[in-house]
Amino acid sequence: MIAHNLEELYKELPQGVRLVAVSKFHPISELLEAYAMGQRAFGENRPQEMAAKAVQMPQDVEWHFIGHLQTNKLKLVLPYAYIVESVDSVHLLDAIEGWAGLHDRTVRVLLEVHIGAEETKQGFSDSEVLQLLSAAGEYHHIVFCGLMGMASHTDDEEAVAADFARIKALFDRCSESFPQLGDFRQLSIGMSDDWRIAVRYGSTEVRIGTAIFGPRSY
């Protein structure tokens, strides 16, 4: 099933849109099945689970951390993460900078933007993103690679499209306002239920779990 699902996704995804297989709650055997199909980018949202899987999977896997990250869990994530997509506060960003400086590392990040209607969603406002990027030069161990966001959880496709249009407009504004940030090229929007809409609005990366692996295994 996993191989078939991936094959269908690879056929449909436009060139230039990267697939992150969201593997949280799925066992190593299923990740290895996806790996055998050529999948290399995997998304996890629990620090302990990602750390445990990282030492069991081949070393060329790109681990994308996509969940809320507490600063006391950095040591479980940053040694393995190809990128942290879910930076949702200045406090977290400062902690990542501190850890990376201490360990002589550079950490790629995406800034998580609060674009959905739900009050519980994490993330920055548009103005906070612009303010933060204007101070990007103060972060010597962080590479700002783009934005991440989730649309409102709704069956209303027009509402989802409006959310994605808004984050794309912010992404474009950031790219134009801060041309010195040469790595700022990633727009991570779109999941299993709405990725086709996200692609229409300029997504460069989709995060898909259920449509690949099915319901969680544990």
**Tens digits of residue pLDDT in 182-196:** 999 999 999 999 999
> Helix, strand, coil shares of the chain as percentages rounded to 5?
40, 20, 40
Model confidence at 157, pLDDT cuts 50, 70, 90, reads very high
Model confidence at 153, pLDDT cuts 50, 70, 90, reads confident
CATH code of residue 164: 3.20.20.10
Amino acid at 126: D
Model confidence at 117, pLDDT cuts 50, 70, 90, reads low
Question: In the chain, pLDDT over 70 holds for what percent of residues?
Answer: 96
Task: Classify residue 218: in a domain, yes or no.
Answer: no
Helix (H, G, I), strand (E, B) or coil at 48: helix
Residues of the domain holding 97: 2-213
* Domain total of the chain: 1
> Is the confidence at residue 15, as pLDDT, over 80?
yes
Averaged pLDDT for residues 108-137: 89
> What integer pLDDT is reported at residue 90 of this predicted model?
97
The total of other beta-carbon atoms located within 10 Å of residue 56's CB is 11
> What integer pLDDT is reported at residue 217 of this predicted model?
57
> What integer pLDDT is reported at residue 160 of this predicted model?
95
Which residue(s) pair with 154 in the sheet? none
Give phi and psi for 36, each to the nearest 5.
Answer: -65, -25
Task: Classify residue 170: in a domain, yes or no.
Answer: yes
Task: Classify residue 9: in a domain, yes or no.
Answer: yes
> Is the confidence at residue 38, as pLDDT, over 70?
yes
Which residue(s) pair with 20 in the sheet? 207
> What integer pLDDT is reported at residue 115 of this predicted model?
82
Model confidence at 127, pLDDT cuts 50, 70, 90, reads very high
Tokens of 26: 């799925």
Averaged pLDDT for residues 89-99: 98
Task: Classify residue 191: in a domain, yes or no.
Answer: yes
> Is the confidence at residue 47, as pLDDT, over 70?
yes
> What integer pLDDT is reported at residue 122 of this predicted model?
79
Model confidence at 48, pLDDT cuts 50, 70, 90, reads very high
Task: Classify residue 200: in a domain, yes or no.
Answer: yes
Task: Classify residue 22: in a domain, yes or no.
Answer: yes
**Which CA distances in Å does 2 have to 36, 64, 206, 218?**
10, 19, 17, 16
Q: Is 205:187 a contact under the CB 8 Å cutoff?
A: yes
